[in-house]
Structure 1
């Protein structure tokens, strides 16, 4: 009879800089055991797909691993395991308590070349994982106000200064001809603040026979590359289900709704309204 494998559970805590501390509760580990982070789709296939963090004692039956904010993790989803390099044993880690209050309303230096964020979360099958973002530059969405004819968004731009010709573009993936630019308002000073109002009508001008997910991009200056507008600087690993906005009529038989994807990118969703069903 195969002996039962004891559950390994980790409590997580974050500090304002983004350093994560993992306190593990489990039976005795081998002295060489480590906390193994493995990026989905990358482990064993390309460099940078695994990170090993030493485990040290933090109390009876407890071990601690610290992931400094300075540690480089590629954007993606990282699963957590305990690994014994000597025996080759790898065991998945279950999530315990998550104290992520320090991540709420983070305000990194807007002049930094890149912005990174990592949020521990429970997977659908009950394991511990990290959602990591690395954006250079980055446009952080703030308040989203749903009006009768358009959506108004405030945010902060990191890693690049907006200049003449700055705009926001609504882009329909798969159809390069479907791009609609809108004016961008910049905050006074060097805070990186911006705002824009996106009217629903232009995106609904073409036929909307099925759901369309329009991506929102901030173009810092005329001719510059676009920056995806997202919201990543807090403790929410997926906004798709938790941030829900009301729908508004964009055109006869067409509804428009601001929404976030599972990766926290801001979009405008168009779909046939009741009159078309």
Structure 2
């Protein structure tokens, strides 16, 4: 049995789209027939990712350099997308430092690092939403999916406050935009095996003098119900569903895609 996700012909912007979850989401959307714009700061990484996805899907996939910490850069990204493709229907916000920049105690925490976290992720997502929403309203159809993080629901890191604030932004926008056919949801990934996470885990394992495999087992596999880290495509699939025409009744939701890592009960 196959499902038509009703995204063929839609135009999608994915920030942080050159690596990890963003890139996996871009691949899935391109496979479903969407026109995909991936955005990131590195031109070389963008061009390589876009070329790879085009070769695998035969779809229309382009990279546009953008920095979500800059209002001018975000506005230019959206303007170029509309100029080239005539619309923006889907926005996936994924541009951020995974895990956050402030993961130590308050005594060692740096104000500048926290401000950078908030500017790139929380306010960055706000900027992209603000720039895309007028075009979605014109189309009478839109999907916004924010990629948050499990630290929104825990006290693991001070940087988690950016994700908690994103839940509020998501719910508020869902109320504001629902009458115009625009849904807004947030997905919280668990430990997802991306280029960044592998490098990060290796660094911490080296610091402890243990193998990457032992560190990953202790920190990611054993605590999860599925006993392993997630693959990027396992997070991308729910994102693509939320971006689809089949998810028109889901909005304002905060959804963990974590392999059973979190144990709290949410009603």
Q: What's the TM-score once normalised by structure 2's chain length?
A: 0.27
- Judging by fraction of residues, say which structure has more helix: 2
Q: What's the TM-score once normalised by structure 1's chain length?
A: 0.26
Answer with 1 or 2: which has the greater Rg. 1
Q: Which has the higher contact order (CA 8 A, sep 6+)?
A: 2
- Judging by fraction of residues, say which structure has more strand: 1
